[in-house]
Structure 1
């Protein structure tokens, strides 16, 4: 059996799980955290669209929304290495902080793009932390790296 590659990160945010969930499931939150150019729905089965420049569109189908606990997306359109991969955010509130376990699962192989995305998902989680703690994230349009 072939083991597919996964990206995993843990981020701890000084915010409630409800606030983190809001940031990850609404157009307002995701426009501060990931990209300003987006179409976001808040229901299972819907497809969220995220634009990164003129030629880079990512579509994520919402698989699970468990308020304050878990979010799962399935990539249905993007770079070919992403199509068919799953992204999850597991939230656990402890002593006024939310522990976010992030996973981008089922990569077919570890490539240069996988490594690039691993770095960028860490920056996404940093942007999420900034937004939840300070009110302003670092979406694609404001990044300088």
Structure 2
């Protein structure tokens, strides 16, 4: 049995703007990571650095320009190691519908539930970054 996190949100931005913001390190650093590196190409490795103790890696397992971007975690916290996080995008009127998923958690524990809450907060930060050009300092993000 696996456990999954899903969040959908509308962002008033183009598919390209949203895709770039969820896949380009210079944008990831403005709403999620402290510092990151990687390229949105299949099998490319991303370094997702949050602190020295949380210096994680994921591999691009699905990517379609301006449509989808998914990372399978390969070196992270033990609860995240089996998981894949992804962004699937589609046009909805004048906005982009972001269908976020973080799937294949092996246990329904505190970390899983806390991560779901944190993702909701971070995705709101993603929306505010794209729509209002607001960057929440890393130490203020949940």
For the criterion TM > 0.5, the same-fold answer is yes
- Judge conservation of contact 1:129–1:137 (CA < 8 Å) in 2: no
Q: Secondary structure at the match of 2:18?
A: helix
Gaps (5+ residues) in structure 2? none
Structure 1 stretches of 4+ moved >3 Å? none
Structure 2 Cα separation of the partners of residues 97 and 30 of structure 1: 20
Give the length in aligned residue pairs.
142
- Aligned equivalent of 2:36, options 12, 35, 38: 38
Q: Secondary structure at the match of 1:79?
A: coil
TM-score (norm 2): 0.93
Structure 2 Cα separation of the partners of residues 12 and 58 of structure 1: 28
2:8 is aligned to 10
Q: Secondary structure at the match of 2:115?
A: helix
Task: Please list the CA deviations of residues 3-27 of structure 1 after superposition, one character each: whole Å capped at 9, or x if unmatched.
Answer: 3100111111111111100101111
TM-score (norm 1): 0.91
Matches within 5 A, 1:2-81: 3-81=1-79
Q: 1:126 to 1:75 in 2, by over 3 A?
A: same
2:80 is aligned to 82
Structure 1 Cα separation of the partners of residues 33 and 84 of structure 2: 19
Structure 1 Cα separation of the partners of residues 24 and 13 of structure 2: 16
1:129 is aligned to 127
Gaps (5+ residues) in structure 1? none
